[in-house]
Chain A
Amino acid sequence: MSEASLARMPPPSRDLSRKAAIVGVGETDFGADYKASRARAPGYEPPTTESLAITAFERALADAGLKREDIDGISVSFLYGGPSAEDTAKLVGIKPRHTMQTPGILAGPLPIVCTAIAEGKCDTVAMIYGVASRTSGRVFGGLAFTGGPGPTSYYYHHPWGWSSQAAHWALIWRRYQAIYGATEADLGSVAVQLRKNAMANPNAVMQTPLTIEAYLASRYIVRPLHLFDMCLVNDGAVCLIVRKADKARDMPHTPVLVAGWGEGRIKNDKFHYMVREQLRPQMQEAARQTYEMSGLAKSDVQHFECYDASSMHLINQVEGFDFAPRGGGLERFKSGEMAVGGAMPVNVAGGMLSGAYMHGWNHVAEITRQLRHEAGPRQIADIEVSMFSLAETDEVHPIIFQRGA
């Protein structure tokens, strides 16, 4: 399962800061592919991880203005299985000198790739992620979860009928409601805002408006969480071309530097840290490491992209990274402060709730567009620094990015 693939990232170090930059980004057609998979027209051929990966790679390569022979490294992150790094290199027609099999979910792969570049193993890496989650009928709870390398909480409580990521966020939300007096309509403001954000992103899956009334009328998945509190399930791939920073100049687009990262992890007492603390201590520690590595401060951050497996989990991160006071995240959403034009825009391309379930890769693709100042109608003005956070049910991995020269 997902967390099994969250291998440890190289420890943050000032020596690794800004050694590499994103110079190319390619995404598959999330919205069009989702529509086609729902319509299942006669003759419909569902995409494969391989076909998606090729599309994303070719788009990223073209975006970077590079040729296949310029790529001397590859990392593959096929979360639910796919070809090896070597076979993927053959598939996309490159001959890298360094190959990496990296975790499926971002953030882990980026620090691994940046470190490989800093160590001189390669200069220009094609990072390829892809999933056919929808086509493969993936289910995110119940007996699909069994013992193994994943978190114990994913399978241990089956006799009580308790499993699924949704149930983790539901326990947090139920308690949050009681502590802060928040209502379902308050939480609905997150889904509504992210839908608006998605509608400003032509590649997002969801393109029809969502109202609070429609949110409240939607079915529950695990009460008190509604359908629209849960992220999408769709097929897709993302490719990032990451290059040694001193070779990332004079490219078609402004490079986006990987300035810092960090890690926070629940070591014990998971339900306490998750349900009563909303992973705040882990987020605070991971943020501290990230700022220290990058030499940047929270006051430098102008944009936050976070792993919105659920609207509630987005609020955990907004508050855990101090972009809103504890118990104050929903008010910030309702007041528009977390929309483009507000004090701290969050998940401005629609995130995973309404954009695409690309396991953090879509968030970093959006950060790349924002820091290039190429995000079109949803561009955040004069942006220089963006923060990304991957948080799962027991670990947190932020990365901070800076617009290069």
Chain B
Amino acid sequence: MAQRRPDRVRGPGHDEFWAWCDKGELRLQRCASCGRIPWPIVQKCEYCGGSELVWEPMSGRAKIVSGCTFEYDYYKGMLPIPYETILVELEEGALFISNPVDLTWRDIEIDMPVKLTFLDCEDSAGAFKLPVFEKA
């Protein structure tokens, strides 16, 4: 059953990102000018201002940079607390906030390798696939 989640940011660029997720692919924008991968979605490259951004598939390999556990109910019951969040560095270099699958704060270690998977979710715009990470 799909998990209820707070709403995604939608609009140009953001919609393409989520459409790729729905196909089971994590694709981010690689800047054709400087080669960097900005994230979150940009309209122009945040590194060089370049406007040619190419949707590039990520390998899904990543490592944990940090993590934190939400104990305070900021989302007023929408997400059962406590729940885990992680910051991962994708193999391609982008830093990505996500959730770990089947890992608690006791299991999570800095630099631990993880791999991409998708979780069936829904928000007020409907069903979507959320990119999350499990132990590699």
Distance (whole angstroms) from the CB of B58 to the closest CB of chain A: 16
| A159-B7 contact given A141-B74, A221-B71, A222-B71, CB 8 Å threshold | yes
| A223-B65 contact given A158-B7, A161-B6, A268-B47, CB 8 Å threshold | no
Contact flags B61-104 to A (C-beta < 8 A → 1, else 0): 00001111111101110010011010100000001011100000
Q: Which residue of A lies closest to B130 (CB)?
A: A159
Q: Which residue of A lies closest to B47 (CB)?
A: A268
User: Are A179 and B110 interface neighbours, CB within 8 A?
Assistant: yes
Q: Using Cβ atoms and an 8 Å threshold, which residues of chain A touch B7?
A: 143, 158-159
Q: Which residue of B lies closest to A179 (CB)?
A: B110
Q: Which of A162, A164, A268 contacts B97 (CB 8 A)?
A: A162
Q: Which residue of B lies closest to A144 (CB)?
A: B74
Residue among B38, B40, B66, B130 with most chain A CB within 10 A:
B66
CA distance A192 to B90 in the complex (A): 38
Contact flags A103-138 to B (C-beta < 8 A → 1, else 0): 000000000000000000000000000000000000
Q: Using Cβ atoms and an 8 Å threshold, which residues of chain B touch A221?
A: 71-72
- B5 within 8 Å of A (CB atoms): yes
Q: Using Cβ atoms and an 8 Å threshold, which residues of chain B touch A276?
A: 65
Q: For chain A, residues 224 to 249, give those with C-beta under 8 angstroms from any C-beta of chain B.
A: 224-225
Distance (whole angstroms) from the CB of B65 to the closest CB of chain A: 6
Q: Using Cβ atoms and an 8 Å threshold, which residues of chain A touch B128?
A: 159
User: Are B40 and A156 interface neighbours, CB within 8 A?
Assistant: yes
Q: For chain A, residues 163 to 189, give those with C-beta under 8 angstroms from any C-beta of chain B.
A: 163-164, 166-167, 170-172, 174-175, 178-179
| A142-B9 contact given A160-B130, A268-B38, CB 8 Å threshold | no
Q: Using Cβ atoms and an 8 Å threshold, which residues of chain B touch A162?
A: 70, 85, 97
Distance (whole angstroms) from the CB of B17 to the closest CB of chain A: 11
User: Are B67 and A160 interface neighbours, CB within 8 A?
Assistant: no
User: Are A222 and B5 interface neighbours, CB within 8 A?
Assistant: no
Q: Using Cβ atoms and an 8 Å threshold, which residues of chain B touch A175?
A: 65-66, 110
| A161-B68 contact given A139-B74, A271-B95, CB 8 Å threshold | no
User: What total of chain B residues lie within 8 Å of the partner, measured CB to CB?
Assistant: 37
- A34 within 8 Å of B (CB atoms): no
Distance (whole angstroms) from the CB of A377 to the closest CB of chain B: 35
Q: Which of B71, B75, B95 contacts A142 (CB 8 A)?
A: B75
CA distance A18 to B105 in the complex (A): 50
User: Are B9 and A167 interface neighbours, CB within 8 A?
Assistant: no
Q: B-side binding surface: helix, strand, loop or mixed?
A: loop
- A155 within 8 Å of B (CB atoms): yes
Q: Which of B6, B47, B85, B110 contacts A143 (CB 8 A)?
A: B6
Distance (whole angstroms) from the CB of A277 to the closest CB of chain B: 12
Q: Which residue of B lies closest to A175 (CB)?
A: B66
| A222-B72 contact given A160-B97, A161-B79, A271-B95, CB 8 Å threshold | yes
Q: Which of A158, A224, A271 contacts B68 (CB 8 A)?
A: A224
Distance (whole angstroms) from the CB of B112 to the closest CB of chain A: 10
Q: Which residue of A lies closest to B48 (CB)?
A: A268
Distance (whole angstroms) from the CB of A45 to the closest CB of chain B: 28
User: Are A275 and B8 interface neighbours, CB within 8 A?
Assistant: no
- B123 within 8 Å of A (CB atoms): yes
Distance (whole angstroms) from the CB of A254 to the closest CB of chain B: 44
Q: Using Cβ atoms and an 8 Å threshold, which residues of chain B touch A143?
A: 6-7, 75-76
Q: Using Cβ atoms and an 8 Å threshold, which residues of chain B touch A159?
A: 5-8, 121, 123, 128, 130
CA distance A160 to B110 in the complex (A): 19
Q: Using Cβ atoms and an 8 Å threshold, which residues of chain A touch B22?
A: none
User: Are B68 and A167 interface neighbours, CB within 8 A?
Assistant: yes
CA distance A366 to B110 in the complex (A): 39
Q: Which residue of B lies closest to A227 (CB)?
A: B72
Distance (whole angstroms) from the CB of B18 to the closest CB of chain A: 9
User: Are A275 and B87 interface neighbours, CB within 8 A?
Assistant: yes
- B46 within 8 Å of A (CB atoms): yes
CA distance A275 to B64 in the complex (A): 12
User: Are B66 and A156 interface neighbours, CB within 8 A?
Assistant: no
- B15 within 8 Å of A (CB atoms): no
CA distance A162 to B79 in the complex (A): 11
| A171-B110 contact given A142-B75, A156-B40, CB 8 Å threshold | no
| A275-B6 contact given A160-B85, A162-B85, CB 8 Å threshold | no
Q: Which residue of B lies closest to A156 (CB)?
A: B40
| A147-B9 contact given A164-B74, A271-B87, CB 8 Å threshold | yes
Distance (whole angstroms) from the CB of A139 to the closest CB of chain B: 7
Which residues of B are in contact with A by a Cβ distance under 8 Å?
A: 5-9, 38, 40, 46-47, 65-72, 74-76, 79, 82-83, 85, 87, 95, 97-99, 105, 109-110, 121, 123, 128, 130, 132
- Give me 5 A-to-B residue pairs in the complex whose CB atoms sit less than 8 angstroms apart, sorted by A's number: A142-B75, A156-B9, A161-B6, A170-B68, A172-B66
Given contacts A167-B68, A174-B68, 11 further A-B contacts (CB under 8 A): A139-B74, A141-B74, A143-B7, A143-B76, A161-B70, A162-B70, A220-B69, A222-B69, A223-B69, A267-B46, A275-B65
6 pairs of A and B residues whose beta carbons are closest in the complex: A142-B74, A170-B68, A223-B69, A158-B6, A141-B74, A178-B110
